[in-house]
Structure 1
Amino acid sequence: MKLPSEVFCTILLLIFADNSKADIPGCNYFDTVDISYIERQNDSYLYDDILIPASLTGYYEFMDFGDGFIRPVKKHLRACVCSVRPCIPICCPAKNFLPNGKCEDGLKEELARFEPYIYLTSMDGEERVPLTDMAIIRDEFWDCDEMIFISDFYYFLEQVRIQNFNKFGLIVWFQDGTFWVTVDLVLKKHEYCLYRHNFNSDFPKSMWLIVHRCRTDLLPGYLEILIVSSICNVLTIAVYLYIKKLRNVTGKCIICCLFSRFIQDLITVLDRLKLINAICSPAGYSLYFLLMAANLWLSVISYHTWKVLTSLNRVEITYRFLRYNVFVWSTASIMTGSIYLVNHIWENDPSQWNWLPLVGFIRCSVKDWHSSVWIYISGPSLVLSTFNVTMFTLTAIYIWKVKGNIKKFTNEEEERIGCINFDSQTYLQFLRLSIVMGLTWIFNVIPFSARFYIFWKWVGIISDYFHSAFGIVIFVLLVLKRSTWTLLMES
């Protein structure tokens, strides 16, 4: 009997939680940092000039994100650094993470230049503490991060007694890193981090805080399907290049579209495996460029298919494919250049952070959370998908009318047989056209926030799985059909 997924996950969480307590007694997971890359010296470890005794270290085989999600990872050594010094989390973009776990984004130089500090208040009085004297935990950005502005608050140590806590505007910062803002905002250490470009303003009277709203992970088997799909894309491209009769304008457009999808999927796989952090930003902009190019090629295929099928002149116009290339690659370049400029100009301005594409921050890709996604991805995709649906509808109506007119010239028996052939052949033809003309990609414009509702969540899951296997579907529909095999045998 299968256990429900919720029960199974709960059991795993309890197991991992027990392991966490056993590894470093009395230390919360979120008080630890990865020190796998640091060599042991005299029964201690030196982490950012902080000497941590070996008794405060332990091995972990998971990552805890604090939102009920635990990811099994390779066994690694962690140290309870917050037991040695007060901690403060400051987010690090994916593009600045080094293979050894360090973050090279210029934070140390910025702290040395501006010398920021905070006030820690205990029962014994108030103490001004420079950030350079604290243990700085370099957090990752999460998928649904949101920037908020906080001003006029006070910091308190864990020992402070909470009295008259209903006082308006009072914010308590415990030594364990928890923010408690009356009843309006309660943030534990793993639920927020400071933004790096914070310290040249009115800090610490006011600051920009990044709040972790949610975290997503890949669907089971998603990467494996994506890899198989990429292989199928390569095979389809090879077949179309090998068979001369398939190297017409439509075939060339399909090749360009599948090539864009192949490189796009390859970058996605490498990004998810964290193998391209060294070239995270260039890979992210390339990913966006290829995403837009692939969508544009689907629209070009839709337009060209409609044009060819409804035109009386079947002779291919000279330079048509060249014109398509100019349109697709130039449009994709302009769109990519636009998001690059937006990121480059406003990256250091926290007030604009929520509206930035954030390439290289959360992952090596454009963020897919917040209303701004309609500017960079969903909006353009919706326009192109609507165009594709329109072209498919016009093409389907034309084919239906032509098939209907042909039936009028047959006798009653032939008409009956022809009707059966019409159903099977036409519907299969419509299926191929709907896939090649990119009809299904309209489901990718469903807002990420809508996936919190059960219906749209399942629509999104089905869409994600289907489009991860898009190369497989194309291979089956275009290569494994009888006419293609006949051409392949004759070549």
Structure 2
Amino acid sequence: MGVIIVLIGMLLSVNLSIALDELPCHFLDSINITDGNRLANDDSIEFNGLVYSRKQYAEINYVLLRDGTDQITVDPYIRGCICNIKPCVRLCCPLGTLNTDDTDITVCQDHDKGNKFEAEVIHKNNETKVIPLERFFAYIEGIPCNFVYFDDDYQITHKGEISRGNLSTKLTHQNSCLHAGLNAETNEVDLRLLTCIELEGDDYDLNQYHVIRHQIINFCMLISVVFIVATLLAYIFIPKLRNLQTNCLICYLICLAISYSLVIFVTSFGYPSFACIPFGYFLAFSFFSAFFWLNVFNFDFWVDFQSKHRFKQMSERKKFYLYLVYGFGGPCLLILFIYILDNTVQLPPNMRPGIRDGACFISNILWYFYTPIGITLTINYVFFLLITLKIRKIQQDIAAERSQEDGSLMQKALNEKKETCILYLRLILVMGLIWIMEIVSYLMDNFSPLFLITDILNSLSGLFIFILFIVNRRVLRLIKERWQNLRGKATTNDNDTSNLISRSAAFMQMNPILTIK
């Protein structure tokens, strides 16, 4: 019985292979003509006004994906070689539709202006005229590749080839298509050229590098998010670690975690087209907010070393409210500025931020992303320099007061303050240097090993923060004590930190010499 079934299967496969033909042209040069009318006299098929002889069509059972390499098996259907009969031009969207979504070139919607197109055509005598394309060409449809870019300087030859500016190499409908989109200002159809990026040889290797790089960065960001959450939990559940500066650090960490989580989610799962532009603005906002909060607790440290600054006289609650205005209000104004430049001001394409151009993030990344970050980093280093000079001055003042009885206490308080200060300054140095290196490597070469290294270091910033702020004896001891308290084993020797802070505060009030007049 089993042998009979095998034989039947073999016979069916033989019959199937006999019934199906080999397509007499490239798949991208053909269209589905299954619904055409078969002519009785010579077995030809008439479809949309064109007659396909028996040598110009075939019954096949596959379709090729966009890149033209992967094949999917489907039910048998008839496909005709239209480009062997009439010169072809390829439309990115099906005839009768237009691309109406600026953020996604694959979204095509029915439109009454999607049936007739005009473009410059170079005739045999090299005369150029704007003519209706359907008069001379047949249409085939679909974007023929996965990686494309826009090219507006083009003309169509009488053979259906694409001539681009001063370039000698001509394109065909196998590596380009005409993108028909509706201009929102004129309500007319803009016919732009989408050109395939060929990924062969070195270009293919670069694409593979790009894919692998994103996988590595996503993994590093995931590690960062885990350690950022661990750091946040430590500060939330251990009250002794909480003060104004750590509240600022928490805001910074939340912004950083949101930024990394968004990048991981979108690069892994994608997003609907309508979310592209809002996502771009929100991602930029979260990154900018993180750097603005770095400014905040640098400024707060600088204020902490001042004797007569109005911020010093404010309550911590009021100061934190003002910091909230700067930490989130500043990025809001920056995003508003980017939105205005992108949507209301008439700028050349290379000068606009470019979020609405379908990139789902700032396209002009140097001027509208790295430049604001560079400015905030410069401000951080100015505060770093001022604080360092202040500590040096205080040390000199302490040395001059060694004869006083409280000299030893003064030195202890300064050391405690200096310890905390150095901890935060390390964060500024580490985060700042990594981003500066990234900006420099971006200016040099996006595919350089330095660019990959700085990307990895940036993506692991959550791990570095965890090591800087959590992995030390004092914090680990407090975590242990908190854990024991939660388990009902409270310890009795956990007041040394708060006592030292109290002594430091009293000491700063008793000794005005610690501030520069």
Decide: shared fold, TM above 0.5.
Answer: yes
CA contact (8 A) 1:24 1:58 kept: no
Match of 1:481 in 2: 472
Instruction: Sort the Cα spacing of 1:198 and 1:327 in 2 relative to 1 into closer, same or farther, 3 A.
Output: same
Q: Which aligned pairs between 1:30-429 and structure 2 lie closer than 5 A?
A: 31=28, 55=60, 57-58=62-63, 77=72, 84=82, 86-88=88-90, 90=92, 97=104, 103-104=106-107, 106=109, 108-109=110-111, 111-112=113-114, 115-116=117-118, 119=121, 128-130=132-134, 134-138=139-143, 149-150=152-153, 153-157=155-159, 174=161, 178-179=162-163, 181-183=165-167, 196-197=180-181, 209=193, 216-217=210-211, 219=213, 220-278=215-273, 279-309=275-305, 317-318=315-316, 319-345=318-344, 352-359=348-355, 361-367=357-363, 372-400=364-392, 402=394, 429=423
Larger RCO (alpha carbons 8 Å, 6+ apart)? 1
Query: Aligned partners of 1:105, 1:461: CA distance in 2, in Å?
Result: 37
Deviation of the 1:451 alpha carbon: 1.2
Q: What do the CA deviations read for 1:187-240 (whole angstroms, capped 9, x no partner)? A: 677886655447798x99x96556778975461511111111112111111211
CA contact (8 A) 1:230 1:262 kept: yes
Instruction: Sort the Cα spacing of 1:192 and 1:275 in 2 relative to 1 into closer, same or farther, 3 A.
Output: same
Deviation of the 1:129 alpha carbon: 2.4
Match of 1:12 in 2: none
CA contact (8 A) 2:294 2:380 kept: yes
Instruction: Sort the Cα spacing of 1:63 and 1:324 in 2 relative to 1 into closer, same or farther, 3 A.
Output: farther
Match of 1:443 in 2: 437
CA contact (8 A) 2:423 2:468 kept: no
CA contact (8 A) 1:192 1:212 kept: yes
Query: Aligned partners of 1:306, 1:57: CA distance in 2, in Å?
Result: 69
Match of 1:459 in 2: 450
Deviation of the 1:277 alpha carbon: 2.5
Deviation of the 1:434 alpha carbon: 2.8
In structure 1, list runs of 5 or more residues that go unmatched.
Answer: 1-22, 43-51, 65-69, 158-172
Deviation of the 1:317 alpha carbon: 3.1
CA contact (8 A) 1:140 1:362 kept: no
CA contact (8 A) 1:24 1:57 kept: no
CA contact (8 A) 2:224 2:462 kept: yes
Q: CA RMSD in A?
A: 5.2
Q: What do the CA deviations read for 1:388-439 (whole angstroms, capped 9, x no partner)? A: 12112222333455557767899xxx9xxx9xx99xx899747634357745
CA contact (8 A) 2:293 2:327 kept: yes
CA contact (8 A) 1:236 1:475 kept: yes
Describe the SS at the equivalent of 2:133.
strand
Describe the SS at the equivalent of 1:250.
helix
In structure 2, list runs of 5 or more residues that go unmatched.
Answer: 1-21, 37-56, 94-98, 198-202, 403-407, 483-517
Using the size of structure 1 for normalisation, the TM-score is 0.63
Deviation of the 1:95 alpha carbon: 7.2
Query: Aligned partners of 2:221, 2:372: CA distance in 1, in Å?
Result: 24
CA contact (8 A) 2:178 2:194 kept: yes
Using the size of structure 2 for normalisation, the TM-score is 0.60
Deviation of the 1:270 alpha carbon: 2.1
Amino acid at match of 2:453: I
